[in-house]
Amino acid sequence: MNEIKVFLVDDHAMIREGLKLALNSEKNINVIGESEDNIEIVQKIIAAKPDVVLMDINMPEKDGLTIAKEIKKVNKSIKIIILTMMDNELYVMDALKSNLEGFIYKDSKIIELVDAIQKVYNGEKYFNEEIKNRILDHISSKGELEANYADPGSILTKRQKEIIRLAAKGLTSREIAEKLFLSELTVIKHRKNIIRKLGLKNFTEVVSYSYTNKII
């Protein structure tokens, strides 16, 4: 049985240590490297030549999906599994569009993660059943979903994109309201509608998702 070389990317040391201990106990898995930040992360991974990268989606500065896409541009043969606590179909669809090999929740059992690693190493895709079911439910409830995934920005108005752009610069709702000659309440309503439209949990996710998908 071939050894599967794994590289861990997560900004939490405890998670990295736990994963490393669990994965190294498997006969054919060897954790050959790890990183807690984005500093030259792509270069580190390319130099390490792993078979599979386990990538936390919520990284400082750049999100995991952006880093994964950069890795794929340099070396498409490296398999990437996204690890996340975020319960969001849009991120899953983005992973699919980017030809990433897997997407799994951080609270999954280690046996499932090992199964995912082995499957993507052997050329398969891996999305656990809960994620698959949520995508199917989401698609069935929104007829226009596929078009929106092709162009996520198409479901946002010009004003909403403007609000995201200003929020990304660090402006508060009150400051955005003053700049756009709106009431603060109107801006707050816009922000809530943006979060709802994109299916995200908060505006930090909105800004990150907007950068990743070139909405702003």
CATH code for the domain of 204: 1.10.10.10
DSSP state of 51: S
Judge if 130 and 163 occupy the same domain.
no
**Predicted pLDDT at 139:** 53
Judge if 16 and 77 occupy the same domain.
yes
Q: 71 in a domain, yes or no?
A: yes
Judge if 113 and 11 occupy the same domain.
yes
**Predicted pLDDT at 135:** 61
Q: 36 in a domain, yes or no?
A: yes
Domain with 104, as residue range(s), is 4-138
Judge if 63 and 103 occupy the same domain.
yes
Q: 145 in a domain, yes or no?
A: no
Judge if 128 and 27 occupy the same domain.
yes
**Predicted pLDDT at 145:** 46
Q: 126 in a domain, yes or no?
A: yes
DSSP state of 131: H
**Predicted pLDDT at 105:** 86
Judge if 53 and 128 occupy the same domain.
yes
Considering its fold, how many domains does the chain have in total? 2
**Predicted pLDDT at 97:** 72
Q: 147 in a domain, yes or no?
A: no
Q: 198 in a domain, yes or no?
A: yes
**Predicted pLDDT at 137:** 59
Per-residue pLDDT of the chain (216 residues; tens, 9 = 90+): 789 999 999 988 999 999 999 999 999 999 999 998 777 899 999 999 999 999 998 887 788 888 999 999 999 999 999 998 766 666 777 776 777 898 888 888 999 999 999 999 999 988 877 776 666 655 555 544 444 555 667 778 889 999 999 999 999 999 999 999 999 999 999 998 888 878 788 898 888 888 888 888
Domain termination site, one of 138, 169, 190: 138
Judge if 134 and 178 occupy the same domain.
no
Task: Give the domain CATH number at 24.
Answer: 3.40.50.2300
| Cα distance between residue 208 and residue 90, in whole Å | 12
Count of residues in the chain? 216
Q: 102 in a domain, yes or no?
A: yes
The pTM of the full predicted model, rounded to 2 decimals, is 0.63
The burial of 170, by beta-carbon neighbours within 10 Å (0-12 exposed, 13-18 middle, 19 or more buried), is given as exposed
Residue at token pair 């508060």: 172
Judge if 18 and 58 occupy the same domain.
yes
